[in-house]
């Protein structure tokens, strides 16, 4: 009994450390490598692949002598790796790659592989080793229970890290605290495992490690590496990401997640962001500015003496820090709102004359929400007749590449669906202005007529004839064959991703083909039960992504809610794997088929449900509860699938545990990457749901056809097609 209790402590600890490390590591990766969804997807996929590989190696754990001591040794080794990984990441980044440069996908792939390899291999190995240690041939339920316990550990980590640590302490300190908790659990494992001396030694090692890790100020060292030649004035870890303000020769630079948001004293950008749109409206009285108002743009807006400026910014830390370090204009017409801009617009009173959307290009699905037809329609409903909107994309004033052309086209056509007039002003960025009123490209002349004082946006720096020529050049490269950008079909995000990949000469389709081929190879080498887990893992990860995105689209970006959805997913997995219902006492093939069929129906119906619920005007909390419930359902089914699969493969316990766990991880890895980068942007939510349904139906068909060879006979004999 104590032995089982000990193993449960170890499994719980493993889940706890794994998810904590994943959260911090991915945050750091996004910060150091200036991440977008593809960066996130590749990093996560590498993590899952390597863990699956470690799990596969776990099959050899039965041959290890002195298993217990070896496991304790590995657990201790695992405990120091998270902090070392972050340190390695920061050093690696700047020792290997040129300072300040963006990293391409290939480099990222190898970098994350090297950095994550030790932790993930050991993590995967330990899960299998502990599962095997805690199970025997007579009781197959120990295997899904191991999965369940580990999932509870993950859930606990998610709660503590997302809702406590991230708000209160920096990454290094957070990881050290996580390490302390982990090692305490390892000590309990050693104690309850009957190794009191080992547990005392572990405790001593804990204290030494924690002391050792706490001594150097890693945070400052990392800052000096990341922000070379700059003095760090503020470094705040917020749930929305890391906000850092640096100073260099009096210029302040604001970074969020490693991205430079703005530098002070950049008149060109501030004026372009404001005047192109403001000058179009004869009497701009009520202004809405979405982000980008802390750099100096607000002063430009005030030159028009508006009656009201509503400034919306998502991250409260940015607002607070900017007031502390930068001279923000004091005016009673400025009203700052800390909120998700889409949520704000839906709930806003009144109507605007000018809307300035000063966000980066749609490089993430989260940002893409501000370039969709649904957003523009919502916005228009809060705009006065003839009001003007401005948004921007990377510049193509000298040349329009194929990839940039598609991006420009998508945004242009999306705007054109909502507004009668759209013009493009190509300067340092491509500014898209849209309105139902006439729009003029003769900006310098209008500035002069209205006598607005500007340093850059005037006839001295901008020649109207050249502006018209370049604008006309961009318009010639607008293609009518390109898709309009939607919330539930974010094509502009895919075009932007494609454009980003062209920086490095990469083609996303090659990545897609490689993934598909790898996926097919993995599926055909697996037995039908494990293949079902692969598709189940794929579906589970995909639907989790869909639900998180839907939450953002429908409710706006609420970080805590996203964290809650992920926690509920973990809870569902744990509950599903641990369920002890009478009808599942000895699960059979028909139960497994039924679960897969349920997954298939669920994935098919989910997008329709999401579209329906988004069309209703329900209060935010009802939507969130619904989405949370759906999340629990999908993860519960996935967890149950694992439980049933464990029974069906119980006759070769070692291979069964290893293959099942690895298959599910592989499936999740594929799901996370493929659905974010390809399926949702290209197919949209509905077609992605159909794709997932077909995938599961295919898995059902294969299993049904080969069911007699797969299911063990009652007397325990029979052949099994297992790896």
Q: Which stretch, 128-136, 183-191, 234-242, 259-267, contacts other proteins (CB under 8 A)?
A: 259-267
> Which residue of 21, 131, 141, 230 would you call a contact of other proteins, by CB under 8 A?
230
Kindly identify the residues of this chain, within the stretch 92-111, that bind other proteins according to CB under 8 A: 96-102, 106-107, 109-110
460 binds other proteins (CB under 8 A): yes
Does residue number 265 form part of the binding site for other proteins (CB under 8 A)? yes
Do residues 598 and 633 lie in contact, with contact meaning Cβ atoms separated by under 8 Å? no
Query: Interface with other proteins by CB under 8 A: which range of 80-88, 256-264, 562-570, 598-606?
Result: 256-264
Residue 67 or 468 having the CB closest to other proteins: 468
Nearest distance in Å: CB 99, other proteins:
6
| CB closer to other proteins out of 200 and 521 | 521
β pairing state of 352-357 and 286-290: parallel
Of residues 461 and 621, the one with the C-beta less far from other proteins: 461
Kindly tell me which residue out of 62, 69, 220, 248 binds other proteins, with binding defined by CB under 8 A. Answer: 248
Out of 64, 164, 200, 260, point to the residue binding other proteins (CB under 8 A): 260
Q: Judged by CB under 8 A, which stretch of 115-123, 253-261, 649-657, 671-679 contacts other proteins?
A: 253-261
Cβ–Cβ under 8 Å, residues 680 and 690: no
Q: What is the DSSP letter of 268?
A: H
Exactly one of 136, 469, 601, 621 binds other proteins (CB under 8 A); that residue is 469
Pick 8 or 269: Cβ nearer other proteins: 269
| Pairing relationship of beta strands 429-435 and 421-426 according to DSSP bridges | antiparallel
Nearest approach, Cβ of residue 442 and other proteins (Å): 16
Q: What's the CA gap between 445 and 428, in Å, rounded?
A: 19
* Segment interacting with other proteins (CB under 8 A) among 275-283, 344-352, 454-462, 558-566: 454-462
Rounded Cα gap, residues 341 and 366, in angstroms: 11
705 belongs to the binding site for other proteins (CB under 8 A): no
- Nearest approach in angstroms of CB 261 to other proteins is 10
Instruction: Name which of 77 and 514 has its Cβ closer to other proteins.
Output: 514
Residue 362 CB contacts under 8 Å (≥ 6 apart), including other chains: 368, 370, 371, 485, 490, 492, 493, 496
Alpha carbon separation from 694 to 209, 539, 599, 601 (Å, rounded): 50, 11, 10, 10
Q: Which is nearer to other proteins, 153 or 519 (CB)?
A: 519
| CB-based burial, 250-280: b 16+ in 10 Å, e otherwise | eebbbbbbbeebbebebeebbbbbbbbbbbb
- Strands 352-357, 383-394: pairing is parallel
- State which residue, 60 or 461, has the beta carbon closest to other proteins: 461
Stretch that binds other proteins, among 166-174, 468-476, 572-580, 587-595 (CB under 8 A): 468-476
CB 644 within 8 A of CB 591: yes
Q: Which residues of 108-139 are buried (b: 16+ CB within 10 A; e: fewer)?
A: bbebbbebbebbbbbbbbbbbbbbbbbbeeee
Alpha-carbon distance of 176 to 217, in angstroms, equals 12
Give the DSSP H/E element, type plus range, for residue 424: strand 421-426
Nearer to other proteins (CB atom), residue 399 or residue 608: 399
| Closer to other proteins by Cβ: residue 2 or 224 | 224
**According to CB under 8 A, which residues from 114 to 173 bind other proteins?**
none
The site string for other proteins over 394-413 (x = CB under 8 A, - otherwise) reads --x-xxxxx-x---------
**Of residues 259, 325, 351, 704, which one binds other proteins by CB under 8 A?**
259
101 or 560: CB nearest other proteins:
101
Q: CB of 246 within 8 A of CB of 252?
A: yes
Measured from the CB atom, the residue of 566 and 677 that comes closer to other proteins is 677
Q: Does 231 bind other proteins (CB under 8 A)?
A: no
State how far the Cα of 271 lies from the Cα of 273, in Å rounded to an integer.
Answer: 5
Q: Does 509 bind other proteins (CB under 8 A)?
A: no
251: contact with other proteins by CB under 8 A = yes
Select 189 or 276, whichever has its Cβ closest to other proteins.
Answer: 276
Question: Residue 476, Cβ neighbours under 10 Å: how many?
Answer: 10
Q: Please give the backbone phi and psi of residue 352, each rounded to the nearest 5 degrees, phi first.
A: -105, 150
Cα distances (angstroms) measured from residue 256 to each of 88, 253, 549: 21, 10, 21
For the purposes of burial, counting CB atoms within 10 Å of the CB of 324, is it exposed (0-12), middle (13-18) or buried (19 or more)? exposed
Is residue 39 a contact residue for other proteins (CB under 8 A)?
no
Question: Scanning the structure block, which residue is given the tokens 């001594």?
Answer: 215
Q: What is the DSSP letter of 485?
A: P
User: Using CA atoms, how far apart are residues 484 and 377, in angstroms rounded to an integer?
Assistant: 13
Radius of gyration of the chain (CA): 27
Q: Which segment (225-233, 380-388, 407-415, 644-652) binds other proteins by CB under 8 A? A: 225-233
Stretch touching other proteins by CB under 8 A, among 319-327, 513-521, 542-550, 645-653: 513-521
Interaction between residue 250 and other proteins (CB under 8 A): yes
Three-state DSSP at 248 gives: strand
Which DSSP helix (H) or strand (E) runs through 430? strand 429-435
Smaller CB separation from other proteins, 249 or 330: 249
- Confirm or reject binding of residue 456 to other proteins (CB under 8 A): yes
Q: How many residues bind other proteins (CB under 8 A)?
A: 63
Tokens of 29: 């990766």
Tokens 């037995």 identify what position? 527
Adjacency order of strands within the sheet including 251-256 = 231-238, 241-248, 251-256, 259-263
In 530-682, at which residue ranges do the beta strands (DSSP E only) sit?
none
Instruction: Give the nearer residue to other proteins in terms of CB position, either 28 or 145.
Output: 28
Q: Does 470 participate in binding other proteins (rule CB under 8 A)? A: yes
In the complex, what is the shortest distance from the CB of residue 325 to other proteins, in angstroms, rounded to a whole number? 14
Residue of 35, 153, 174, 258 interacting with other proteins (CB under 8 A):
258
- Work out how close the CB of 250 gets to other proteins at its nearest, in angstroms, rounded to a whole number: 6
Q: Give me the 267-296 binding string for other proteins, x by CB under 8 A, dash otherwise.
A: xx----------------------------
- 466 is a contact residue toward other proteins (CB under 8 A): yes
Please report how close the Cβ of residue 504 comes to other proteins at its closest, in angstroms: 8
Q: Rule CB under 8 A: which residues touch other proteins?
A: 34, 96-102, 106-107, 109-110, 228-230, 246, 248-251, 253, 258-260, 263, 265-268, 396, 398-402, 404, 428, 455-456, 458-463, 466, 469-470, 473, 477, 502-503, 505, 510, 514, 517-518, 520-521, 524-525, 719, 721
């Amino acid at each position: 009994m104590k032995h089982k209790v000990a193993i449960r402590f170890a499994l719980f600890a493993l889940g706890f450390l794994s998810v904590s490390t994943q959260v911090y590591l991915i945050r750091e990766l996004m910060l150091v490598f200036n991440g977008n969804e593809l960066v996130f997807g590749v990093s996560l996929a590498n993590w899952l692949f390597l863990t699956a590989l470690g799990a596969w190696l776990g099959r050899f754990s039965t041959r290890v002598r002195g298993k217990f001591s070896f496991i304790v040794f590995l657990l201790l080794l695992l405990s120091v790796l998270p902090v070392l990984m972050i340190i390695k990441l920061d050093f690696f980044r700047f020792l290997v790659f040129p300072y300040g440069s963006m990293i391409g996908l290939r480099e990222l792939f190898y970098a994350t592989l090297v950095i994550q390899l030790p932790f993930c291999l050991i993590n995967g190995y330990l899960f299998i080793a502990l599962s095997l240690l805690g199970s025997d041939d007579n009781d197959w339920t120990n295997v899904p229970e191991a999965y369940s316990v580990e999932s509870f550990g993950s859930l606990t980590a998610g709660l503590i890290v997302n809702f406590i640590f991230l708000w209160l302490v920096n990454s290094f300190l957070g990881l050290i605290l996580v390490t302390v908790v982990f090692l305490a659990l390892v000590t309990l494992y050693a104690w309850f495992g009957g190794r009191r001396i080992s547990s005392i030694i572990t405790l001593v090692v804990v204290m030494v490690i924690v002391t050792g890790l706490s001594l150097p100020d890693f945070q400052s060292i990392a800052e000096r590496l990341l922000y070379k030649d700059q003095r760090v004035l503020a470094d705040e870890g917020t749930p929305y990401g890391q906000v850092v303000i640096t100073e260099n020769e009096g210029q302040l630079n604001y970074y969020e997640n490693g991205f430079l948001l703005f530098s002070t004293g950049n008149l060109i950008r501030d004026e372009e962001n404001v005047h192109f749109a403001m000058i179009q409206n004869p009497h701009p009285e009520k202004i809405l500015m979405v982000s980008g108002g802390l750099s100096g743009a607000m002063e430009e807006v005030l030159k028009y003496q508006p009656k009201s400026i509503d400034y919306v910014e998502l991250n409260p830390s940015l607002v607070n820090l900017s007031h502390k370090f930068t001279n923000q204009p004091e005016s009673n017409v400025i009203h700052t709102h800390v909120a998700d801009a889409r949520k704000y617009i839906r709930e806003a009173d009144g109507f605007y004359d000018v809307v300035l959307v000063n966000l980066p290009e749609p490089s993430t699905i989260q940002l893409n929400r501000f370039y969709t037809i649904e957003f523009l329609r919502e916005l228009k409903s809060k705009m006065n007749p003839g009001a003007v909107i401005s948004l921007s994309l990377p510049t193509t004033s000298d040349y329009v590449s194929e990839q940039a052309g598609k991006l420009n086209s998508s945004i242009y056509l999306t705007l054109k669906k909502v507004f009668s007039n759209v013009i493009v002003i190509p300067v340092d960025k491509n500014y898209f202005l849209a309105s139902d009123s006439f729009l003029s490209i003769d900006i310098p002349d209008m500035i002069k007529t209205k006598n607005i004082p500007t340093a850059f946006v005037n006839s001295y720096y901008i020649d109207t004839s050249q502006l018209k020529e370049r604008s006309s050049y961009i318009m010639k490269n607008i293609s009518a064959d390109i898709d309009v950008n939607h919330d539930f079909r974010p094509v502009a995000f895919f075009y932007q991703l494609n454009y980003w990949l062209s920086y490095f000469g990469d083609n996303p389709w090659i990545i897609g083909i490689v993934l598909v081929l790898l996926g097919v190879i993995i599926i055909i080498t697996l037995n039908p039960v494990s293949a079902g887990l692969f598709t189940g893992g794929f579906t589970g990860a995909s639907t989790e992504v869909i639900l998180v995105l839907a939450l953002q689209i429908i409710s706006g970006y609420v970080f805590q809610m996203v964290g809650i959805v992920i926690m509920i997913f973990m809870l569902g997995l744990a509950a599903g794997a641990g369920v002890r219902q009478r009808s599942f006492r000895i699960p059979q093939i028909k139960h497994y088929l039924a679960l897969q069929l349920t997954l298939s129906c669920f994935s098919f119906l989910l997008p329709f449900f999401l579209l329906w619920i988004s069309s209703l005007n329900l209060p935010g909390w009802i939507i969130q509860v619904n989405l949370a419930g759906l999340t629990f359902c999908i993860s519960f089914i996935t967890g149950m699938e694992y439980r049933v699969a464990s029974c069906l493969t119980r006759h070769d316990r070692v291979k069964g545990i290893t293959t099942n766990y690895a298959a599910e991880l592989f499936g999740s890895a594929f799901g996370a990457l493929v659905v974010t980068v390809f399926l949702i942007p290209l197919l949209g939510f509905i077609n992605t749901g159909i794709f997932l349904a077909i995938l599961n139906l295919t898995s059902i068909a294969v299993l049904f056809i080969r069911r007699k060879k797969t299911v063990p006979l009652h007397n325990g004999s029979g052949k099994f097609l297992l790896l």
